[in-house]
């Protein structure tokens, strides 16, 4: 992707879900998403991040999660990378649906991502762990893709590059 990149390394301390959400919301605003698009985008990133923390890193406090936002004029892609030992098959990508047995309390995340995102892929990283990539086509023209992102609060290491 020939555009801009914003990368966060998040350690599971304090409000780490909140820091991921704050960064996601900031990117969504820069890209000019309306509230509904922002909600869908935030849900997908949150599902990937939650899976990385719980199923990938097994809630290990010493393992971080990388969240990489990359966008150009047409697409925004988010890569969420854990440091765990799970295999891609663990996410049941092919048969996951959001409308599983309603009485179940879990198992909806991957199905929701598949439905809300335009594209979703899972791969093993060479250095270990999984990378979940979700992509969205940008449908609006009022984005501010060139505006420098402000770093989030403490605990998040953010880097932006062109």
Residue ranges binding other proteins (CB under 8 A): 15, 17-18, 21, 35-36, 39-40, 42-43, 46-47, 50, 53-54, 98-100, 102-109, 111-112, 115
By C-beta, is 5 or 63 nearer to other proteins?
63
How far apart are alpha carbons 35 and 15 in whole angstroms?
Answer: 23
Give the residue carrying structure tokens 């697409």: 75
- C-alpha–C-alpha distance, residues 42 and 39, integer Å: 5
Q: Which is nearer to other proteins, 4 or 86 (CB)?
A: 86
What's the closest the beta carbon of residue 154 comes to other proteins, in angstroms? 17
Rounded to a whole number of angstroms, the minimum distance from the CB of residue 98 to other proteins is 5
Cα angle vertex 112, ends 101, 134, to 5°?
150
């Amino acid at each position: 992707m020939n555009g801009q990149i914003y990368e966060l390394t998040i350690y599971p301390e304090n409000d780490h879900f909140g820091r991921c959400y704050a960064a996601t919301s900031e990117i969504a605003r820069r890209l000019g998403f309306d509230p509904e698009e922002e909600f869908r985008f935030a849900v997908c990133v949150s599902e990937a991040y939650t899976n990385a923390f719980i199923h990938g890193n097994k809630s290990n406090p010493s393992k971080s999660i990388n969240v990489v936002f990359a966008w150009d004029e047409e697409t925004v892609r988010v890569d969420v990378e854990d440091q765990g030992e799970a295999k891609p098959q663990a996410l049941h990508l092919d048969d996951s649906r959001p409308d599983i047995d309603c009485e179940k309390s879990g198992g909806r995340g991957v199905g929701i991502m598949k439905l809300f995102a335009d594209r979703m892929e899972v791969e093993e990283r060479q250095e270990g762990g999984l990378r979940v990539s979700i992509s969205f086509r940008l449908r609006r023209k009022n984005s501010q893709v060139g505006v420098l992102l402000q770093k989030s609060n403490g605990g998040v290491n953010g880097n932006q590059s062109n």
